[in-house]
Amino acid sequence: MSVVGHRGIQYLQKLKAANIPAELIEKGQNRVIDASLTLIRERAKLKGPAFAPPRIREAIWCGSTNSATEEGKELNDPRVLTDVGDVPVQEIRDCGVDDDRLMNVISESVKPVMEEDPLRPLVLGGDHSISFPVVRAVSEKLGGPVDILHLDAHPDIYHAFEGNIFSCIAICPNNGRWLCAAAIAISAASPQYVLCWNNAVNRKLGEGVKGVYISIDVDCLDPGFAPGVSHIEPGGLSFRDVLNILHNLQADVVAADVVEFNPQRDTLDGMTAMVAAKLVRELTAKISK
């Protein structure tokens, strides 16, 4: 067996051995546990997002923050947040694995999380390329399409960036509806995307499909709230705008990701890390309903 195969098996064994109390996995319990799965994957010129997951983890458990979400969920409750560890993406890439095979490895690494009912994946990036294998895994595991709520300053409606098709969420294999709640108006957008964020909560996402996948690119926020991103776009959403969209969304959220936080461009006191951690906390509350 190849080195990649051995590493894949080792990871899956680690994932299966996650410290999840058996009583929480029994049917009839709260149907969701957040699985904070780190996929470090970055191909853009600014490599900083690859270092984001540990910074977000640190900020989540920072002593200066609340342990509860705004909806009253306690992060110390494993039914709300269970960290199942990392996918060793960089190690796999170092073995010479191409993009197609790497995406397959990531997809197959996400699926075991969903097998442990009530676990659902909340993935930390990394850049936006992680959305492709995660959406694919979620759709395949649920047996049908999901709607995607995509918060981003750049709708990523192109099908490749600098030769890398996986850098764009637009190529996610999925037949659900797409709501791109973009902060910046784009006049030449494809008609398949809805770019008006203030209508986001009025869309009936999740009806007729297997649920809703939320993808939050941190650069959807105005730089005054989140300066630590690779591609700054002034005039973005306020942090409360984003939280209102999440809190008001009436749908079954089956998975999510938070991507494109770049610690190398953050403030000295880690302002954007705290913002990303807050997004993760509120997403756990949304998923654990």
**Which residues fall in the annotated binding site for Mn(2+)?**
128, 152, 154, 156, 217, 219
Query: Which residues line the annotated binding site?
Result: 128, 152, 154, 156, 217, 219
Q: What single-letter amino acid sits at 38?
A: T
DSSP state for residue 188 in the 8-state scheme: T
The distance of Cα 167 from the centroid of its chain, to the nearest Å, equals: 14
- List residues bridging with 256 in a β-sheet: 122, 214
CA 72 to chain centre: 22
Residues 276/258, Cβ–Cβ less than 8 Å: yes
Terminal-to-terminal C-alpha distance of the chain:
42
Name the 3-class secondary structure at 37.
strand
Q: Which amino acid is at 42?
A: E
**What Rg, from alpha-carbon coordinates, does the chain have?**
18
Any idea what the Cα angle at residue 73 is, between residues 245 and 272, rounded to 5°?
A: 55
Helices (H) and strands (E) in the chain, counts: 8, 7
Category of 73 on φ-ψ map: left (φ > 0), alpha (ψ -120 to 50) or beta: beta
Angle, CA 14 vertex, CA 65 and CA 274 arms, to 5°: 15
9 CB-contact burial (10 Å; exposed 0-12 / middle 13-18 / buried 19+):
exposed
